[in-house]
Amino acid sequence: VVPMTVSPVDWDLAVRTARRLAPAGPHVSRAEAVSAVDELRMLAVRAEEHVRAVTGLVPPGEPQEATVVDRPGWAAANVDGFKVVIEPLAEKLLLKNSNALAIGAASRLTGLQMGTLLAWLSSKVLGQYEVFLPEEGTGRLVLVAPNIVETERRLGVDPTDFRMWVALHEVTHRTQFTAVPWMHAHVRSEIGALLDASSLDDPAELVGRLKNAVTQLPRGGSIVELLQTPEQKVVLDRVTAFMSLLEGHAEHVMDGVGPSVVPT
C-alpha cells in the first residue's frame, strides 16, 4: 500500500518555483503601490453596487473588498486551488501505482511544471474569482495589482476607469457565484467529472487537464484537439458551455453599467 502522504503533485515545490520564476512587476514607488491597492479594494465594493443594479442579483451580506495580490501571490493562490480539486483524486491515482518512489519523482516533476506554468501566467491575469477554496461553497475575488498597473500604463488609459472596468468584470463573476446558491457545487462537480474522465495514470496529464479547464475553456478555440474519449467530450462540452455563459454574462453586465460609471 502506498503511503497517503505521497501526493500526485509536489505542492510546495510548485509554490517555490512560481515565486522564483514570476516576472518582476512594473516599477512603482511605495506611495503609488499603496494607492493602487487601496483604490482596487475600494472599487471592488463600488463595482458590486453597479453589478447588483444591472443584474438584480443580490449576494448575501454587504459588498466586499477584493483581495489584492502580486504575481507570486496569485500563483500561490492558484496552487491552493489546484490542490483542492486534485487531492480528492489522489487516492485513485495512488492505488493504480504502488511504487512510492516513482510517484514521488513524478510529483516533483509535476510540481516543477505547475510552478513554471503559473509563473508565466502570473503576468497575464488581471483578476480572478477563485472558486476552489478549502471551504465548500466559498470563493475569493483576487485582483493582481502589478498586472493592472502595467496594462493601464501600456494602453495609456485613465487608471481609475481601467481599474473599475476590471473590477466590474471580476465582481460580476463573484456575484454570479455568491447570489446563486448552487453555482459553487455545480462547478466543482463538473471539474471533478472532467478529471475523473481523464486518465489517472499520469499526474502530469491530470494537472494539464485541470489547467485547460480553468484557463482555456472560456476562450474556446483549439480545446477540441485535446479530446481523447467520448466521455471526456461530453463533460468538456458542458463545461465549455457553462463557462462561456458566465463570460458572456460578465461582458453584458459591463456594457450595461456603461459610460456613466466608466466615462472613458
Strands (DSSP E) along 191-258, which ranges? Answer: none
pLDDT at residue 204, rounded to an integer: 58
pLDDT at residue 188, rounded to an integer: 86
In whole angstroms, give the CA distance from residue 227 to residue 40: 39
Predicted TM-score (pTM) of the model is: 0.81
Length of the chain (residues)? 264
Cell of 169: 468584470
Per-residue pLDDT of the chain (264 residues; tens, 9 = 90+): 444 456 778 889 999 999 999 999 999 999 999 999 999 999 999 999 999 999 999 999 888 899 999 999 999 999 888 888 777 666 666 666 555 555 567 788 888 988 999 999 999 999 999 988 877 777 899 999 999 999 999 999 999 999 999 999 999 999 999 999 899 889 888 888 877 776 555 555 555 655 565 555 445 444 344 435 677 778 888 888 999 999 999 999 999 999 999 999
In whole angstroms, give the CA distance from residue 75 to residue 39: 22
pLDDT at residue 28, rounded to an integer: 94
- Per the listing, cell 483524486 goes with 89
